[in-house]
Structures are given as structure tokens and as C-alpha cells.
Amino acid sequence: SCGNGSGVLSDIYVYVLTLIVLFHYFSNQYTEEEARKLGVVGWVKNTRQGTVTGQVQGPEDKVNAMKSWLSRVGSPSSRIDRTNFSNEKEISKLDFSGFSTRY
């Protein structure tokens, strides 16, 4: 998928998402790889409470694909007890150019 020179992105949604992950071995490396594969942007961060929080932005179908990956797959050796997606809203432009892990 190339050709983003026009700067016109239709159906952009921003999601702030919070994951409750049982193990503290949730690897954001896998999340970053999946996000890049799907073509969404944003960030993730492990919290001291053992959850993963972050934000995903992109076209609705790609963001939905990322949501389902986060809910069902996640990284190896992590067990996802619960996923909670909040603050869904439409935005006109992306706030991020890539997907990263924050510390």
C-alpha cells in the first residue's frame, strides 16, 4: 500500500485503547509489528498495573483489524483477560507518523 502523497484520508478514526493483560510479558514488539503490517499508527505503553494502554489511528477497517488482533491474539505468552476500547472518535488527520512503544 503506497501513494499517500495526496494527504487525503477518508474515514480516519482514533481509538484510545486499554488492555488488561495477565502476564507482564506482553511484548509491545509484536504489537508494533502487527500495527505496521496493518498500516495503523499510534503508540502502546505498559503500565505499572500490568496493563497495556495506547492509541491506534487509521482507517476504520484497519483499526478494527488491530482491535481484533489485540483482543484475540496479542503477543506470545501473554494472556488477555479483558480488552477495553474507549474514546473512539473520527479525526480528519493522523497525529502520528508511525507506531511506537512508550516507556
- Residue 31 C-alpha cell reads as 504489537
What is the secondary structure of 3-27 as a DSSP string?
Answer: ---S---SSEEEEEEEEEESSS---
Please tell me what DSSP assigns to residue 55. Answer: E
Q: Which residue has the higher pLDDT, 77 or 29?
A: 29
pLDDT in tens, 33-88: 999 999 999 998 888 877 778 899 998 889 999 988 887 777 666 677 777 888 88
Q: Which three cell numbers stand for residue 73?
A: 491474539
State the pTM of this model.
0.76
Going by their DSSP bridges, the two strands 12-21 and 51-59 should be labelled as antiparallel
Contacts of 5 (CB under 8 A, 6+ apart): none
In this predicted model, what pLDDT tens digit does every residue of 77-98 receive, in sequence order?
667 777 788 888 888 888 899 9
Q: Delineate the domains of the chain, giving CATH numbers in brackets.
A: 13-92 (3.30.70.100)
Three-state SS at 1: coil
In this model, does residue 26 exceed pLDDT 70?
no
